[in-house]
Amino acid sequence: MSVSGNRTQYVAVAALIVSMIIWSVSGIAIKHALAVLPPFTMIVMRFVPSVLLMLIIGLVRRKHSLFCLQRLEWRDVPLFLIAGFCQPFLYYLLETYAYDALNSPTIAETLLSTSPLLSPIFAAVLLRERVTKYNILGILISTAGVFALMLAGSTNYSIGSYWGIPLAFAAVSAAVIDSIMMRKAPLKYSSLSFVFYTQLVSLCFFIPIWFIKEGPSAILDLRFQISNIEVQTALWCVGYLTVFASVTAFILFCYALRQIGVTQANAFNNIRPAFTALWMFLFFGEHLPLAKWIGMGLIIFGLFVCQKQEKVSDS
């Protein structure tokens, strides 16, 4: 692999790690936000500002390849409609209700991080990406680490509603389809453009449902509770989800996926529950037994195995 190829690989991996760290906090933020806000209200408060923020960035940074905002061509509209319906709309709808149903963010993150198991199948069938034995081996090792995290005992391990499990797996399927669309999107669209248009499409689905189920009164009522510490915490959590989880992490993930492919990029989803477990241990006192540390080690080792094959095949 050339020096420039190595540099691209390292930048893509760094972008993926940062995005996964950001998303690993999302589950905790969503749980805090849902303690005060109805699900659709939280989603609309999250994505309307994120779309406006990306619009401003795209207009200001017109000549920057990563952050410019290109005009959408009609022939590409179906691709963005599928991507926007799958993620954010369907994914975040299912994810939000999964977090609401499951008691522990660690368990939720574990279930929502199983996309690497589906990604090789979708990538091979729909994109004809080459999936090697090292890719599969690395994903299996890493996934074993994920389930070690889930099966290890913790101070907050009750499942909650079992409906959260199928909701989480349905969300994963939607996310994998979105990553396929992300890979198929013409390279003329910047990472910001892809994320902007998919989130704009998703709002076309979110807002009508929000009006029917909850409506603007859910937001207006917050004016009379703004001094409440729980409301303030929820608003800070929504702000984090807007700026970091919905904009920063998505743009970084889109950039990295286009560089190294669907299988390798989605393999990094396995480190999300490891970071979530770490945050729960550091800030919320959730117990981290030896099995969870072993699980984290397996996740990291599996990622190294998965990425090693790419270097071999490209040399």
Going from N- to C-terminal start, the domains of the chain cover 3-314
26 contacts 100 by C-beta, under 8 angstroms? no
d(CA 40, CA 170): 18
pLDDT of residue 158: 60
Percentage of the chain modeled with pLDDT above 70: 88
pLDDT of residue 162: 73
pTM across the whole model: 0.81
pLDDT for 62-114, tens place per residue?
766 667 888 899 999 999 999 999 988 998 788 778 877 877 666 776 677 67
pLDDT of residue 49: 96
pLDDT of residue 312: 44
Over the chain, what is the mean pLDDT? Answer: 83
pLDDT of residue 257: 92
pLDDT higher at 73 or 296 = 73
pLDDT of residue 265: 87
Closest CA to 178 of 83, 259, 249: 83
**Is it the case that residue 3 has pLDDT exceeding 60?**
no
pLDDT for 28-74, tens place per residue?
898 889 888 988 899 899 999 999 999 999 988 776 666 788 889 99
pLDDT of residue 308: 65
> What is the pLDDT averaged over residues 234-251?
95
Q: Which residues pair with 160 in a beta bridge?
A: 102
> What is the pLDDT averaged over residues 224-241?
88
pLDDT for 268-287, tens place per residue?
887 887 888 788 788 877 77
